[in-house]
Structure 1
Amino acid sequence: MVYGNGSEVMHRVQEAMSRVAKAQYLLFTSIYELEAQTIDGLKEKLQIPIYSIGPAIPYFKLRDKLSPIIHNNEPNYVEWLDSQPKASVLYISQGSFLSVSSAQLDKIVAGVIDSGVRYLWVTRGEVARFKGGGDDNMGFVLPWCDQLMVLGILVTLWVELDERRPICRCSNAYFPQILGSSAKSKSIVDDWKIGLRVKREEGVESLVTRDEIAKLVRRFMDLENEEGKELRRRAKNIKEICRRAVAEGGSSQTDIDGFIKDILQC
């Protein structure tokens, strides 16, 4: 993973790419059907086997009857989610590696509260930011949750505040933070068309205002909005592509088998 700005980043990228020629294989935790043009281009340029084995999470082993892990004295967020109207909850993951600035986070919190939507917000050490704002019954803030369970059951919208890739059936608002995030943002917004790009205003730290956040959230959560309906339809298609890729005979399963065979022949 490469992060930073300017020439420092470019140097790191060039250094990383120079090592590719020494590799025996390249493995991507992506799905061929989602990035076929890029993967085919690399296969033409490089003289080593390239395998796409994503998604690298146990999402497809979930079953509706599985119960999430709830620790002692921890509020039961699943019960809270189950008590909310269908498709009404905004899920926000703040990210554990690299998140937005403190000033931007304040505006995001204020914007989400101003929007009036229900939300489940996973954040570490930032709970105090939510005190005294909005209706406590509209939001649930906690340091950790069973993300696969939550995303696999009833999430409408996933707002990522770091660089992770969406896998489940949910639309996205995206804040690119590191090199690679901008490329993923392009895929999500321009190629797959399952998300909206958060526009930053010119000025100090290019902060997105609380009003812009509130408007964006309302757009996503409006179930009668044609734009939102189309985003959800495309996201559902992405979900099915992921399922087919890991099924028997799917592209990811085939590449995993091929990689194992190559290793055994070494």
Structure 2
Amino acid sequence: MPPAIDVAREHRIPFAVFWVQPATTLATYYHYFHGHAEMINSRAADTACVVSLPGLHPLSIREMPSLIIDKDEASKMYLRGFGELFEQIEQDKAMVLVNTCDALELEATSLKALQSHLDVIAVGPTVPPAGAGEEAIHLFRRDEKKYMEWLDSQPAKSVVYVSFGSLGTYSQRQAEEILRGLRCCARAYLWVVRREGRMEEVERLIMGTGAEDDESTGMVVEWCDQLRVLAHPSVACFVTHCGWNSTLEAVASGVPPVAVPGWSDQSLNAHLVEEWGVGVRAERDAEGLLPGVELARCVELVMGDGGTAAKVKTNAAAYQEKARQAMAADGPSERNLGSFVNRVRHLVAAVEKNHA
């Protein structure tokens, strides 16, 4: 948020930036603003085109952050904001804390290579343990007892969990397709549909079909404690918009994602999911909808008896262990955060000395 940096500058207070997306995205934006914008812009219309940026594995245009590729006014506004942020970071030589670790992104982008351009500190994954305490903040009302008891009643590794995050809403057609796909799977499902984000048509669809109350096949809830759900032994698959928080939570829980990216960094996150081999990406149609048949196909790939499911489950367990080691007490993330705190102490002492 650039205004926070303006306040820090006005009071001559050193600042650091917490980057809440992957290091791969940070590197992509950095190189876009440092000599590669013209090349990327000239190829933006060809989604199959592959682009090579320093220190990164090749990325197709469709895998790059949408704010770089899309030319609508909202994307242009956000992109200008990112450009200003990089100018401020470099002008003030600010530290950048990134919600990632070497174990996750070393293959996609070398954090050491990025550190030759920016003062990057990996402090992730910043995923609290499931059930971290009642003091946890939840954005929306939830009936935790009801859905947890329902999950308890389901067999191990049998439930499809569907959530498109705190901002996602559904059109009537998209809700119909998701419901059609879930029923085609013939698997139990827990589907998060925020009441605040439901259009009247979607509300009627859910209530009219009994999806909200038909607990034999599935449950529709307004909101849930996602970490508790992902940690539940009955959950086998996470259909997600692939925001970075949700992606990290899936990895840390060992639950294979079906990635349905929409905008911003989500396509690149889906690319990482595929590169790690911990999940699959679902394809939207020409109108941007996730078809029910595609949803069912991807869920079956992850939860079925085929070779893809076996590989995904093995890789998901391996990356869960990598995340656990990164987040462990005195692990790399905690050590990096401790180093950051010590540097802040030195900066504070220097500022106090100058003010005196």
Residue 6 of structure 1 aligns to a residue whose secondary structure is coil
The answer to whether the 8 Å contact 1:173/1:196 transfers is yes
The 5 Å alignment of 1:250-265 reads: 250-265=331-346
Letter in 1 for 2:277: K
- Determine whether 1:180 maps to 2:249: no
Residue 207 of structure 1 aligns to a residue whose secondary structure is coil
Letter in 1 for 2:310: K
- Determine whether 1:17 maps to 2:86: yes
Report the counterpart of residue 206 of structure 2 in structure 1.
130
Residue 248 of structure 2 aligns to a residue whose secondary structure is coil
Note the C-alpha offset of 1:73: 7.3
- Determine whether 1:157 maps to 2:232: no
Report the counterpart of residue 255 of structure 2 in structure 1.
170
Letter in 1 for 2:205: R
Letter in 2 for 1:197: R
Report the counterpart of residue 112 of structure 2 in structure 1.
40
Distance 1:146 1:27, change over 3 A: same
Report the counterpart of residue 182 of structure 2 in structure 1.
112
Report the counterpart of residue 281 of structure 2 in structure 1.
197
Distance 1:138 1:200, change over 3 A: same
The answer to whether the 8 Å contact 1:99/1:161 transfers is no
The answer to whether the 8 Å contact 1:109/1:129 transfers is no
Residues 171-193 of structure 1, C-alpha deviations (whole Å, 9 max, x = no match): 1111212221111111111x211
Q: Which sits farther off after the overlay, 53-62 or 225-234?
A: 53-62
The answer to whether the 8 Å contact 2:144/2:224 transfers is no
Greater RCO (Cα-Cα under 8 Å, separation 6 or more) = 1
Residue 45 of structure 1 aligns to a residue whose secondary structure is coil
Letter in 2 for 1:6: K
Letter in 1 for 2:80: H
The answer to whether the 8 Å contact 2:162/2:238 transfers is yes
Residues 208-254 of structure 1, C-alpha deviations (whole Å, 9 max, x = no match): 322222222223222x2221121111111111111111223321111
1:90 to 155, 160, 173: 160
Letter in 1 for 2:257: N
Letter in 2 for 1:198: A
Distance 1:121 1:73, change over 3 A: closer
In structure 2, list runs of 5 or more residues that go unmatched.
Answer: 1-19, 21-64, 348-356
- Determine whether 1:77 maps to 2:147: yes
Report the counterpart of residue 249 of structure 1 in structure 2.
330
Letter in 1 for 2:299: V
- Determine whether 1:240 maps to 2:305: no
Residue 219 of structure 2 aligns to a residue whose secondary structure is strand
Higher radius of gyration, 1 or 2: 2
Note the C-alpha offset of 1:136: 4.3
Q: How far, CA to CA, are the matches of 1:193 and 1:246 in structure 2?
A: 21
Identity of aligned residues (%): 26
Distance 1:218 1:16, change over 3 A: same
Q: How far, CA to CA, are the matches of 1:12 and 1:101 in structure 2?
A: 29
Q: Which sits farther off after the overlay, 5-14 or 29-38?
A: 5-14
Note the C-alpha offset of 1:72: 9.7
